[in-house]
Structure 1
Amino acid sequence: MSISRRRLLGTGTGLALTGALAAGCGSDTGRGSGDSGGRPVIEQWYHQYGEAGVEQAVRRYAAGYDRAEVRVQWRPGDYDQQTATALLTDSGPDVFEGGPTLEQIQGGQVVDLTDLLRGVREDFDPAVLAPKTYEGRIWGVPQVVDTQLLYYRRSLLADAGVEPPTTLDALVDAARELTRGDVKGLFLGNDGGAGVLQGTPLHAAGLAPVTEDGRPGFDDPAAARTLGKLRRLYADKSLLLGAPSDWSDPSAFLQGLTAMQWSGLWALPRVRKELGDDFGVLPFPADGAHGRPAVPVGAYGAAVSARGRNRAVAKELVRWLWVERTDHQVDFALSYGFHIPARASLAAKAEPLRRGPAAAAVRFTREHGFAAQPLLWTVVARTAYQDALSRIVKGGADPGRELRAVLRTTEDELRRVRKRR
């Protein structure tokens, strides 16, 4: 199964996993040894993208690197499982796409790349760089920025006399007003939004799953109030449920099944092609006195295995491709799907991002972006939160009680990861 770059934003992947390396995935799982024509051999792994042309592009980039022979591995199947396992052996990649994960960093499985960004660190989007940074050191160089946005149909809002919502209360009211006949007001995914929204509502309330100093960031009554409003959307029957395709695909929005939809930036070219100017985009609306608009950001970064035989050469490849070759970076972001280059200077100059909703998306990301999957927001804590959010939205569970249980789990997880330092 091919998976596009949206996977880190909406599927909870990018996790540290254990277990046997999946059989039959990739052609040559062994790291290159020795030289090729006097040049060192570097094994570089990518997950199998769903966007046409990406594989050809990354192979073309590799062929243009003259300091080593770069052997690209295109990895179908459970890429994160494969990578997590391979990094524990001598048969893994030298350079690979990954978070990398907290376990890989704390376990000494990846190389410190801080020096690669010397002089350009401030040019990288801070929200996408944050989960690749641990104790002030950088462990992965961002490749692109992926994000999610609220799409709204201008004509449907105008016909209903509804303004584009800029607060969560306004979103709840707008969704109710826009629900007419066969058209629902809002689509947050077929599960009511628990899977895709994750920590976004917490940020909209001015909170966070985990603070920068490694503490739970939602031990506040505002968190329960905000999540309770998501229940109102469900109880009002304003949410589209059971759509033919889920949130990452804009089909429900384009077919007029919903007036507003939460989806990814990658959907924008298709929406623009089919609707012309009859749409706009917004961040997730702010909630409460201390709230702020929220734009989740995430993407893979390029990392270097600590078990590689040519670590210095591998680092230079990462520098060449994801720091020096800005032409490749723009090509990778915008020629195969629709993404924002990881560097602000490139995003500002990229022609497809300079007008209309695309320019608004870049501005929202810059002003309101946050890391969709914080490095310290572990799998266990994130799963506990997502399960609780589902019970709140779909089952009407008490938000305060549910969040207290998640808080205990999060505190336990943070203590556990601190002990590994």
Structure 2
Amino acid sequence: MARTGSTGRVRTAVAVLALLPLTLGACGGGSGGGGGGSANAASDTLRVLDYYNSDPNATLWNTAIEECGTEVGMKIDRESVPGDTLIQKVLQQSSSRTLPDVLMLDNPDVQQIAASGALAPLDDLGIDSSGVAEGVLKASTYEGKLYGLQPVTNTIALFYNKTVLDAAGVTPPTTWDELKTAAATLTVGDQYGFAMSNVNTYEGTWQFLPFMWSNGGDEKDINTPETAAALQLIKDLLDSGSLSQSSVNWSQADVADQFTAGNAAMMVNGPWNFGTLDAVEGLEYGIVPIPAPTAGGTVVSPFGGEAWTVPNTGDQEKQKKAAELVQCLNNDENEVTISLGTGTVPTKPELAGQVTSQNPNLQTFADQVPDLRARTGELGPEWPDAATKIYTAVQNALVGGMTPQDALAQAQNG
């Protein structure tokens, strides 16, 4: 799933991590330097830290990590922690100079942790990132250096209830006007035509981004006609009754629950819901891109998923081996295997066919990979400020009685 709520914790961690680079740099260098994350591990062992602690991710990644360890000639000491504790764990390990040799990070967090000096540039360690989508690489690049390599990703699209749309004679919408018309037609009784999360967290921002970006809006300045038009679309859907007022409190999981319960005919959501949807007897659903502003327009969506990094432990020989492990985790075979096992798609577009041929439901998500945009691509470590402004403006327009223009102006300049 896209972990969209961790950025606030990262900002706090980075504020402290910024004080540590000199300490990290003094841990020693070269073979046998004995510094950082390798201090308490044998020279033939790589310590790995991630938050894949539930299946299918836990088992799939453990297998991949162990097999890659064998390939690079190293034993593995893996630790998996709850997702909301990972950054605090990194902070503690940085302070005590016990960073792991390989660290998994949510992709929007990579630039902020790299800015602290806690990560080693992968470019300097011989990592080959060829074939990976440009937007994905941009998320893990800081000041011209690549700090993370991400094998699989996810994004969001428009899910629709095939039975409901067929009965109403509605074709899945491809433009904003078609979305408004379809949503109105499909709003009957207790059933809303459309559902999405507009909650006042980074999750709400994540869901709004495809509408904003596809219309030419930009996070550097949200007080623009392009972003106002995107917000007006959502407000029109809500004001017309096609979108529930409760959407301002719904998480993406809540939206999926509304869809599976038959309370929404269409929803914006991601492939991490396949298990939930497929468990509902009789539910037939389809997936298409989120509607574009006009016919033929390009839909630009954000992407989720995690990148693998090499902490700056000071032990150069260990860091080289850690980089080899990261390279292995991102090989073609692992990308395809992990994608199929977790409902994600490869970050190398050329591998998409190997996945979608076996799971057609992933086609819409795979098609978006070449155009996916990094949330931190333009603002880097300053992205959290923009994300907060965006969800604040959405809330003020939908429930605060403000026009989209006024809500965006206040959020941008407030």
| Bucket of the pairwise TM-score, normalised by the shorter protein | 0.7 to 0.9
1:386 and 2:382 correspond: no
TM-score, normalised with respect to structure 2? 0.80
Which amino acid letter does the alignment assign opposite residue 48 of structure 2? Q
Match of residue 101, structure 1, among 81, 105, 110 = 110
1:154 and 2:162 correspond: yes
Q: Give 1:301 shift.
A: 0.2
Q: After superposition, what is the alpha-carbon deviation per residue over 1:32-91, rounded to whole angstroms, capped at 9, x for unaligned?
A: 43664xx433211001444x1432333333333232222101112421232245335412
Q: Give 1:302 shift.
A: 0.2
**Cα distance in structure 2, aligned partners of 1:73 and 1:268:** 27
Unmatched runs of 5 consecutive residues or more in structure 2: 18-35
Q: Which has the higher helix share?
A: 2
1:262 and 2:257 correspond: no
Q: Residue 404 of structure 2 aligns with which residue?
A: 399
Correspondences of 1:316-327 after superposition (within 5 Å): 316-323=324-331, 326-327=332-333
1:332 and 2:328 correspond: no
* Change in 2 beyond 3 A, CA 1:128/1:159: same
Q: Residue 342 of structure 1 aligns with which residue?
A: 347
1:312 and 2:320 correspond: yes
Match of residue 217, structure 2, among 207, 216, 229 = 207
SS in structure 2 opposite 1:396? coil
Residue-pair matches, total: 381
Q: Give 1:387 shift.
A: 1.1
SS in structure 1 opposite 2:172? coil
Q: After superposition, what is the alpha-carbon deviation per residue over 1:127-178, rounded to whole angstroms, capped at 9, x for unaligned?
A: 3222112343211000311111110112322332322111122212221221
**Cα distance in structure 1, aligned partners of 2:244 and 2:412:** 30
SS in structure 2 opposite 1:97? strand
Q: Residue 2 of structure 2 aligns with which residue?
A: 6
8 Å Cα contact 1:113-1:138 kept in structure 2: yes
Correspondences of 1:190-205 after superposition (within 5 Å): 191=199, 194-205=204-215
**Cα distance in structure 1, aligned partners of 2:299 and 2:65:** 39
* Change in 2 beyond 3 A, CA 1:370/1:241: same
Q: Give 1:179 shift.
A: 0.7
**Cα distance in structure 1, aligned partners of 2:104 and 2:387:** 22
* Change in 2 beyond 3 A, CA 1:80/1:284: farther
8 Å Cα contact 1:34-1:40 kept in structure 2: no
Q: Give 1:224 shift.
A: 0.9
Q: Residue 225 of structure 1 aligns with which residue?
A: 229
Correspondences of 1:248-287 after superposition (within 5 Å): 248=253, 250-268=256-274, 270-272=276-278, 274=280, 278-287=284-293
The higher relative CO (CA closer than 8 Å, separation ≥ 6) is in 2
**Cα distance in structure 2, aligned partners of 1:173 and 1:341:** 34
**Cα distance in structure 1, aligned partners of 2:235 and 2:322:** 49
Match of residue 165, structure 1, among 161, 169, 173 = 173
* Change in 2 beyond 3 A, CA 1:344/1:13: farther
8 Å Cα contact 1:341-1:347 kept in structure 2: yes
8 Å Cα contact 2:46-2:75 kept in structure 1: yes
Q: Which has the higher strand share?
A: 1
1:63 and 2:58 correspond: no
**Cα distance in structure 2, aligned partners of 1:266 and 1:190:** 19
Match of residue 31, structure 1, among 31, 37, 40 = 37
8 Å Cα contact 2:37-2:313 kept in structure 1: no
Which deviates more from structure 2 when the two are superposed, residues 157-166 or residues 273-282? 273-282
* Change in 2 beyond 3 A, CA 1:270/1:347: farther
Match of residue 142, structure 1, among 123, 146, 150 = 150
Q: Give 1:282 shift.
A: 2.0
Q: After superposition, what is the alpha-carbon deviation per residue over 1:301-345, rounded to whole angstroms, capped at 9, x for unaligned?
A: 00111125222221122122223xx3333232222x311122223
1:360 and 2:364 correspond: yes
SS in structure 2 opposite 1:87? helix
Match of residue 93, structure 2, among 73, 86, 92 = 86
**Cα distance in structure 2, aligned partners of 1:108 and 1:237:** 50
Which amino acid letter does the alignment assign opposite residue 86 of structure 2? Y
* Change in 2 beyond 3 A, CA 1:85/1:396: farther
Measured on the aligned residues, the alpha-carbon RMSD in Å equals: 3.2
**Cα distance in structure 2, aligned partners of 1:217 and 1:290:** 26
8 Å Cα contact 1:204-1:284 kept in structure 2: no
**Cα distance in structure 2, aligned partners of 1:47 and 1:387:** 29
Q: Residue 129 of structure 1 aligns with which residue?
A: 137
* Change in 2 beyond 3 A, CA 1:35/1:318: same
Q: Give 1:263 shift.
A: 1.2
Unmatched runs of 5 consecutive residues or more in structure 1: 22-29, 210-215, 410-421
* Change in 2 beyond 3 A, CA 1:11/1:82: closer
Q: After superposition, what is the alpha-carbon deviation per residue over 1:257-282, rounded to whole angstroms, capped at 9, x for unaligned?
A: 11001111122355356477932212
1:44 and 2:44 correspond: no
**Cα distance in structure 1, aligned partners of 2:349 and 2:321:** 27
* Change in 2 beyond 3 A, CA 1:104/1:168: same
TM-score, normalised with respect to structure 1? 0.79
SS in structure 1 opposite 2:194? strand
Q: Give 1:188 shift.
A: 0.6
Which amino acid letter does the alignment assign opposite residue 208 of structure 1? D
Which deviates more from structure 2 when the two are superposed, residues 273-282 or residues 87-96? 273-282
**Cα distance in structure 2, aligned partners of 1:345 and 1:115:** 26
Which amino acid letter does the alignment assign opposite residue 233 of structure 2? K
